[in-house]
Amino acid sequence: MTFDVEGDPLRDLFGRYARADWPLFVVGVVTSVLGRLVSLAPPLVLGVAIDATFNDDVPYEIPFVPADLLPATQSEEVLYSVGIVVAALVGSVLLTWTNGAALSLFSNRVQHYIRVDTYDAMQRLDMAFFDDKQTGQVLAILNDDVRNLRMFLGSTVSSALQLVATVVGIAGLLFYLNWQLALVTLVAVPALAVFTLWFMRTIRPRYRALRASVGELNTRLENNLDGMEVIKTAHTERHETDRIRETSWQYYLRTWAVAKLEYLYQPTMDLLAGLAFAATFLLGGLWLVGGAPGPFTGDLRVGEFVTFLFMTQRFVDPLSGVGRIVTSYEDARASGERIVGLVSRPVVVQDREDSVVRDHVEGHVEYDDVTFSYLPDRPVVRNLSFTVEAGETVAFVGPTGAGKSTAAKLLLRLYDVDSGSVRVDGVDVRDLSLETLRSNVGYVSQDVFLFDGTVAENVRYGSFDATDEAVEAAARLAEAHAFVENLPDGYDTRVGERGVKLSGGQRQRLAIARAMLQDPAILVLDEATSAVDTETELLIQRGLARLTADRTTLVIAHRLSTVKEADQLLVVDDGRVVERGTHERLLDEDGLYATLWNVQSGASASEEFIAEVVARADRGT
Ligand SMILES: Nc1ncnc2c1ncn2[C@@H]1O[C@H](COP(=O)(O)OP(=O)(O)OP(=O)(O)O)[C@@H](O)[C@H]1O
């Protein structure tokens, strides 16, 4: 999605998302403006009626109404006036209702489109974005910022247009009634405008900071909720409360920075508008009592003056409401910037225009001199080259943090290589469509994530058309069927966030069942390290053996016993392959692999090995 990041975010978002529902917007705005104009009728008619009833010289005239439609007698004039006032009130209510309904429909629909699109764009962002774990910020954008925009579209836009209509309408009427007095009333307008411009400039950065602060607070809260077990076991409640207090205090300070300016702005606007009212009252009063004062000329009638004062009041009220409109605009603008900023982030891992689409791949995998780093100049995978024939298994083994998982993730294009190339069936993964790649490469990670839903839904995840029988068959092959049967509702048991919690071994087997159902040509298996009991491990291994048979598999192994049958073992250390070959060959070589094997298979660790492990830890590798 592209937006002009430098431009006005509200205009961009509005231009993109408001198109489909523009009739609702037009109805909302037109009824809002009409409603406001109709509500001007009662004071106008009231003034006319006063002057015509109490002053025989003054004819009964209503602007824009032809004379032959007006009543002839005084009692008819009273009835006529009351009739217009009642009609205006009813009309105003109907218009207000229509206006509210249309704008509410409009703004809620636009909110819905923006939220869904923003979510969609967000989940296409590179994995590196999510590694930063700023989930609170993203949630704040998807919730608070999108809602802010809705409120702006639902009420502020129409208030602003109403304001313009009212101000222009009333200014016109004031000039019509008495242009000299009108000049006095309107002299406040330029002062109000200059003050408003200053206010907008000053408050904009403060709103930006406030919006960011909402995200920071969300991030902190969410992170703490995720880590509640650690907080409790480490007994760090006080420390965490202090951290929340600090973040919340920052939020408070930024809110206050905005609020104190708003509190200054609103009363000042009221004061300026009130001064305009007072000046009109003073001048009109003097005029009535002693004739036209100073440079003013002509007559002023009581009814005219009453209408004038009513109108001035109605003119002044919305002007002081400019404050609310401006603050809502600035707040929505800051939210708009954050939405546009999120969806306009450049995405590296995405389909090329002419990407290769295939239904199936054979499963030939090749890494050709691959180098990758998360942080600039700190490669985690260095000059990695190897080939796996279709159907073969290659295992990465080696010390923790050596870069094994990272190397495997490059095949799935969770990240793109810095140099070299990863190829599937001879095609660079960057040239394959993501759909082709990810539907043909399955991934079972160390840390199995279960979605909130039933067991069956979790197994079926990604293969949504699979039948119940297929789900069960996959679960049987993955050695999951027996424990699923024992859950309260079998395959319909709810698991995940709001459901039954499963053990690490059980989750692992559901993940294997999920991959079994997906039946990909290539599988990446980041083997579980969690200490499961021997029996469970045996079950997992049996499930895995069935899963990996006859398909290209890249295994990241921590227990060497699980991969000694692999066609090829790559011993990775500090991002490089330091040894490669079959289990037997590597034992013969008597290098790092042989040492690791000896330790894991129960032979006591040699003094040199322990020394090396300690030295490695000291080096931070
Ligand atoms: N998302 C990330 N952002 C930055 N650095 C990362 C990221 N993921 C991993 N690393 C770093 O890259 C290095 C390799 O990590 P990787 O997970 O690939 O190692 P591994 O060999 O699979 O380790 P283990 O056996 O513990 O799973 C580590 O130093 C790690 O800190």
Helices then strands, counting H and E runs in the chain, come out as 23, 12
Specify whether the CB–CB gap between 303 and 51 falls below 8 A: yes
Task: Give the mutation target among 134, 404, 562 for probing the ligand 1 site: most ligand atoms within 8 A of CB.
Answer: 404
Specify whether the CB–CB gap between 102 and 28 falls below 8 A: yes
Copy the structure tokens of residue 464: 């949504």
Same domain, 433 and 466: yes
Q: Residue 365 forms beta bridges with which residues?
A: 388, 424
Domain limit, last residue, from 289, 308, 343 = 343
Decide if pLDDT at 126 tops 60: yes
Which one-letter DSSP state was computed for residue 432? Answer: B
Distance CA 98, CA 112 (A): 21
Q: List the one residue out of 19, 176, 190, 17 whose CA is nearest residue 110.
A: 17
400 lines ligand 1 (CB under 6 A): yes
* Domain count along the chain: 2
Whole-number pLDDT of residue 605 = 57
- Our CA dihedral for 510, 511, 515, 518, rounded to 10 degrees, sits at 70
Distance CA 168, CA 174 (A): 10
Decide if pLDDT at 533 tops 70: no
Task: Give the mutation target among 125, 371, 380 for probing the ligand 1 site: most ligand atoms within 8 A of CB.
Answer: 380
Does 589 reside within a domain?
Answer: yes
Decide if pLDDT at 265 tops 90: no
Decide if pLDDT at 368 tops 90: yes
Same domain, 320 and 372: no
Instruction: Summarize pLDDT for 415-454 with one digit per residue, the tens.
Output: 999 999 999 999 999 999 999 999 999 998 877 888 888 9
Same domain, 184 and 280: yes
**H-run or E-run covering 430:** none
Does 332 reside within a domain?
Answer: yes
Same domain, 141 and 31: yes
Same domain, 303 and 390: no
Same domain, 334 and 381: no
Domain limit, last residue, from 343, 376, 395 = 343
Same domain, 518 and 399: yes
Copy the structure tokens of residue 90: 């009813």
Same domain, 91 and 177: yes
Query: Ligand 1 atom 26: the closest Cα is on which residue?
Result: 400
Angle between the 188-226 and 157-186 helix axes, to the nearest 10 degrees? 150
The domain spanning residue 316 has which CATH number?
1.20.1560.10
Mean pLDDT of 464-481: 90
pLDDT band at 620 (very low <50, low <70, confident <90, very high): low
Decide if pLDDT at 4 tops 90: no
Ligand 1: centre distance to CA 575 (Å)? 10
Instruction: Summarize pLDDT for 583-605 with one digit per residue, the tens.
Output: 889 888 888 888 888 877 765 55
At residue 172, what are phi and psi to the nearest 5 degrees?
-60, -45
Task: Please name the residue ranges forming H helices in 373-519.
Answer: 404-411, 434-440, 455-460, 468-477, 481-485, 504-518
Decide if pLDDT at 361 tops 60: yes
* More confident: 393 or 46: 393
Angle between the 9-17 and 322-343 helix axes, to the nearest 10 degrees? 80
Contacts (Cβ under 8 Å, ≥6 apart) of 351? 433, 434, 435
Contacts (Cβ under 8 Å, ≥6 apart) of 229? none
How many other CB atoms are there within 10 angstroms of residue 604's CB atom?
9
Does 354 reside within a domain?
Answer: no
pLDDT band at 72 (very low <50, low <70, confident <90, very high): confident
Specify whether the CB–CB gap between 577 and 384 falls below 8 A: yes
Instruction: Summarize pLDDT for 284-336 with one digit per residue, the tens.
Output: 888 888 887 878 788 888 888 888 888 787 777 776 677 778 888 888 998 99
Same domain, 244 and 278: yes
The domain spanning residue 473 has which CATH number?
3.40.50.300
Same domain, 186 and 51: yes
At residue 405, what are phi and psi to the nearest 5 degrees?
-60, -40
Does 461 reside within a domain?
Answer: yes
Task: Please name the residue ranges forming H helices in 227-301.
Answer: 228-234, 237-290
C-alpha count within 13 angstroms, C-beta hemisphere, residue 256: 6
Indicate left, alpha or beta for 603 from its phi (over 0: left) and psi (-120 to 50: alpha).
beta
Which atom of ligand 1 lies at the shortest distance from residue 127's CA? 1
Distance CA 159, CA 156 (A): 5
Whole-number pLDDT of residue 432 = 94
Mean pLDDT of the chain: 85
Distance CA 51, CA 276 (A): 25
Does 248 reside within a domain?
Answer: yes
571 lines ligand 1 (CB under 6 A): no
Specify whether the CB–CB gap between 572 and 578 falls below 8 A: yes
Ranges 141-145, 394-398, 559-563: which has the least confidence: 559-563
Same domain, 427 and 293: no
Q: Give the residue carrying structure tokens 């105003």.
A: 92
Q: Judge if pTM exceeds 0.90.
A: no
132 lines ligand 1 (CB under 6 A): no
Specify whether the CB–CB gap between 339 and 1 falls below 8 A: no
Specify whether the CB–CB gap between 548 and 562 falls below 8 A: no
Give the strand pairing for 453-454 and 419-424.
unpaired
Instruction: Summarize pLDDT for 176-232 with one digit per residue, the tens.
Output: 888 888 888 888 788 888 888 898 889 889 988 998 898 889 888 888 888 888 888
Same domain, 550 and 587: yes
| Number of residues that this document lists for the chain | 621
Decide if pLDDT at 70 tops 80: no
Containing structural domain, residue 582: 365-619
Decide if pLDDT at 53 tops 80: no
414 lines ligand 1 (CB under 6 A): no
Instruction: Summarize pLDDT for 605-616 with one digit per residue, the tens.
Output: 566 666 766 676
Does 440 reside within a domain?
Answer: yes
- CA 315 vs CA 34, 99, 287, 325, 438: distances in Å: 16, 21, 21, 16, 63
Does 439 reside within a domain?
Answer: yes
Q: List the one residue out of 280, 254, 104 whose CA is nearest residue 185.
A: 280
402 lines ligand 1 (CB under 6 A): yes
Domain limit, last residue, from 343, 378, 405 = 343
Specify whether the CB–CB gap between 514 and 470 falls below 8 A: no
Does 547 reside within a domain?
Answer: yes
Decide if pLDDT at 1 tops 60: no
